[in-house]
Amino acid sequence: MSSGDSFSPPSGFEWFADQIAGHLPSIVKRQIGIVKRPGSTVIHKPCQKGSRGEREVNAYHTILRNDEGDENTRRDTKILRNFVPRFHGVEIMEVDGEEHEFLVLDDITINYRLPVILDIKMGLVTYDPLASEEKRISEVTKYPPQSTLGFRISGYRMHTPEGVLTRDKEWGKSFDEKNVHLALGEYLSAKPLREVVPQFVQKLQEISSWFEVQRLLHFYSSSLLLIYEADSSLPPSIDIKLIDFSHTYPSEGKPDSNYIPGLTKLLEIFESLYLSKQ
């Protein structure tokens, strides 16, 4: 551990400034956060301890494979690759004298001049099938509307010409079933809705269609990362990626019934946000 009151990133790296949610560097919790080399197109995400880290690495390896399994598995994998950040393998680096494994992933903010990024944690429940009773209780009590909405907002970061606006998970949890559309409206407020919402609706439909047919993985406590360009001199590009696979499980031939309802709800809200402004 460093002599100051925080960990130092590996030599040549910085803490990734656009990390919205997840495990952030903390001496108290003895954990590090995502790092990035200035100017690089990739981020390095620390592998979490134990089975969480193993599950995430295995999920990325599963997604990368293109020659295994039956026809449906190959179809599911091929489509999923479009919806996740590109994975470049695992690297070991030293942080304060200790070796850590890092997943090397494309930084999805890289092609945006003023990115506006939103993290949405998906699922009717955000614990996995092997979670302890204590973990189940802690996740359920964290945000009771999760069980009907099927998602919670973990925060957003809005780059503007004037600076950066950040909203965290506590802000996300202050909304419920009745007013969560206001949170999504606020996230979308850097651009006229007509410029970005139809694109988000189309992308959500593509992801939903994949979830309806895929029998590859079940994603517990995973996030959707939404991003759009806020610079008015550039085209209003958008993207949505699935991230955070530390609780992914084989599907055992069944649809991901924990994930799909939240996706359907999000799609409904995006569609109605757009229609309300017509």
Other C-beta atoms lying within 10 Å of the C-beta of residue 88: 15
Q: Verify binding: residue 128, ligand ATP, rule CB under 6 A.
A: no
Task: Quote the CA–CA distance of 257 and 236 in Å, as a whole number.
Answer: 33
When binding is defined by CB under 6 A, the residue of 15, 23, 231, 260 that contacts ligand ATP is: 23
At its nearest, how many Å lie between ligand I3P and the CB of residue 76? 23
Q: Verify binding: residue 142, ligand I3P, rule CB under 6 A.
A: yes
Looking at residues 52 to 91 of the shown chain, list those that interact with ligand I3P (rule: CB under 6 A): 52
Q: Verify binding: residue 105, ligand ATP, rule CB under 6 A.
A: yes
Among ligand I3P, ligand ATP, none, partner that 243 touches (CB below 5 to 8 angstroms by kind): ligand ATP
Query: Are the C-beta atoms of residues 138 and 176 closer than 8 Å to each other?
Result: no
Residues in contact with ligand I3P, shown as a per-residue x/- string from 208 to 227 under the rule CB under 6 A: -------------x------
At its nearest, how many Å lie between ligand I3P and the CB of residue 213? 26
Q: Verify binding: residue 246, ligand I3P, rule CB under 6 A.
A: yes
Residues in contact with ligand I3P, shown as a per-residue x/- string from 149 to 188 under the rule CB under 6 A: --------------------x-------------------
Residues in contact with ligand ATP, shown as a per-residue x/- string from 193 to 232 under the rule CB under 6 A: ------------------------------x-x-------
When binding is defined by CB under 6 A, the residue of 10, 13, 44, 107 that contacts ligand ATP is: 107
Looking at residues 60 to 99 of the shown chain, list those that interact with ligand ATP (rule: CB under 6 A): 85
Q: Give me the residues that bind ligand I3P (CB under 6 A), please.
A: 52, 126, 142, 169, 221, 246-247
